Each structure stands twice: as structure tokens, then as C-alpha cells.
Amino acid sequence: MKSVKAFAPATVANVSCGFDILGFAIDAMGDTVELVLKDEPGLRVVSIEGDQGRLPLEASKNACAVAIQAMLDELGINPGIDIYLKKGLPLGSGMGSSAASAVAAIVAANELLANPFDKKDLLPFAIVSEKVACGAGHADNVAPSLLGGFVLIRDYHPLDVIKLHVPDQLYCTLLHPHFELNTADSRSVLRDQIPMKVSTIQSGNVAGLIAGLYQEDYDLISRSLKDVIAEPYRAVLIPGFYEIREALKDAGALGVGISGSGPTLFALSKGVGNSAKIAAAAQEIYQTIGLEVDTYFSKINTQGAYVIQG
């Protein structure tokens, strides 16, 4: 095998109450990576499409190359691989852009090398890449992008990741306004300590959301989609957040929250009809606050990353 191409989907991290421990994948969009074997050893990032020239081609700083290098180090080998990245996700969007790149890269590399790892065992390599791309090795984007569906990161030491049940009629609408919000800036407004009362409320919402997913209880899911830890501080960075949230709930959203570190918002709903109504309502409300917005809606992606050709 001389070349392999793989795709990894966009993701929503945190899912309101699940700060740094919950995430899910969506069907609407993602990144594609093609790998080609070359004679000279080492990794080379040959081209990146769709980034407006902003992402680094230097292998030590590129999410794709860092993830692949972590895999090669584990295997103790040094093949020659050329990397071609096609970005389907905007940068600084809160949709797991760097995660999708890294995940597509390691899935393609695993296939190129005759699958030395099971899919779930690729996750640590993507986490290494997130440390370089975002400054923190969180798994709430890379895990759902790799595995698909709703994912809970129960612990990191050792890594313990659990796929959760996804109700068949659960849909997501993504609202991506035309401005960027850096992860570092979004994290800088958070508090290092929280009161025990706040922690208790958040724990109840996380438990309620997971129970709602398994019981396919959409009312319980709706009641649980509340964040008392990060959202109160991050909302001020997103113009019109509270007005948008209320308008989308009126349009049928079970809940509305910040996707990852923002500025993209997500809205969960029951059925494709409600999801389409939410997208239409979002266009109207964003117009009133003077922001352009791209809207996407789809079912939850339960497949995760996959090989397109190989």
C-alpha cells in the first residue's frame, strides 16, 4: 500500500454540563488527510488546503505530523510519509478543528502501516497532538472524532473512555458565526476554583444528561443541558449569546450551549424537523445582532473517523 486517505468528523466538546469530559461527533463536516509513502525517512507536510496559509507545515508543529510521530515512536519505526491535509473545518471555531486533523492522520497512518493498532488504541496519539495544537491534552474532541457518538472521558490516568448511548432521533444544529475565538482566550476567563455547591449542581446535570441519553428521555436531556462552570464566563465573549439561546429554545431546541471553547454554538433537538427550524431561527436572530452565521444540522455521527481509500 502506497497511499491512504481518511476522514474525521467535527465534534462538539463539553456539551454544556460536561466540561472537559463529554463530547460528540456530527455528520455535517470534517477534515481529510491523505498519506503517501516516500523513500526518504521522516514525516513531511506537503500541503494544507482550506487554512488560508495559517497552519504550520513544520512537522514538529503540525497536528497531523505530531500525532503520526507519536504513533511511529511507539512502534519504533521511521518510515517516509508525505502528508496532505484538506481542512473542512474553520480554524478557531470550537468544532474540534485540530482534533479532526490529528484523528484523520492517525487513522490513515494506521491503515498505511497495516493496522498495528485497534481503533480505540489510537486515542493517546491524538491527545499528544492536542497538547501541541491547543496547549492541553484533552480528549473531549479527539475521542468522539475518532470513535463517533457521545463519549465520556471518565479519567486520564489511566485513560478511561466510554461510548454512551445515542437516541435515534437526537439531532444537532451547529451555528458558526463569522468570527474567531482562540481556545487560550476562552480558557483564560475561567476560574481555577469553584464552590462545592456549583460542583454539585454540575455533577447532577452530567448524571442527568447521561441518564437521559440511555433512557431516550428528551425532557431529561433538556433539563440537564445547563453549564454552571464555564458558560457564565465564556458567554460574555460571544455576542448575543443569551438572546440567541432563548430564541433557539423557542424554536424547539432541547438546549443550547457553547461548542468547545466557542464561538460556535450547538443546539440539540428531537427530530430533523426541529433541527431545520432551529437553523432558520438562528439565521434570523444573528441577522438582528449584525453577524453572519453558517448553520449545519445533522444526526449525531456514530461512526467516527474512517478510511476513504486504502
pLDDT single digits (tens) 176-207: 998 877 777 777 788 889 999 999 999 999 99
In sequence order, the 6+-apart residues with CB closer than 8 A to the CB of 254 are 218, 221, 222, 225, 267, 268, 269, 270
pLDDT on residue 136 = 66
Query: Is residue 310's pLDDT more than 60?
Result: no
The CA distance from 198 to 26, in Å, is: 30
The CA distance from 302 to 310, in Å, is: 22
In sequence order, the 6+-apart residues with CB closer than 8 A to the CB of 222 are 212, 254, 255
pLDDT single digits (tens) 103-155: 999 999 999 999 999 999 999 999 999 877 666 668 999 999 999 999 999 99
In angstroms, the Cα distances linking 10 to 121, 196, 275, 304 are: 20, 33, 17, 9
Looking at the annotation, which residues are catalytic? 130, 183
Pair 8, 147: CB distance under 8 Å: no
pLDDT on residue 234 = 92
The CA distance from 244 to 288, in Å, is: 10
Mean pLDDT for 249-254 is 96
pLDDT-wise least confident of 75-84, 133-142, 212-221, 294-303:
133-142
H or E element at residue 258:
strand 255-258
Residue of higher predicted confidence among 128 and 261: 128
- The candidate with the shortest Cα–Cα distance to 230, out of 264, 202, 267, 197, is 202
Arithmetic mean of pLDDT over the chain: 93
Mean pLDDT for 266-275 is 95
pLDDT single digits (tens) 11-23: 999 999 999 999 9
Mean pLDDT for 35-64 is 94
Enter the C-alpha cell of residue 68.
Answer: 503520526
DSSP string for residues in 198-223: HHHHHHHHHHHHHHHHHHT-HHHHHH
pLDDT on residue 261 = 86
pLDDT on residue 27 = 85
Q: Is 145 helix (H, G, I), strand (E, B) or coil?
A: helix
Question: Does residue 167 have a cis peptide bond before it, meaning omega lies within 30 degrees of 0?
Answer: no
Q: Where are the alpha helices (DSSP H) in 123-257?
A: 123-134, 142-147, 183-188, 196-215, 218-224, 231-234, 241-250
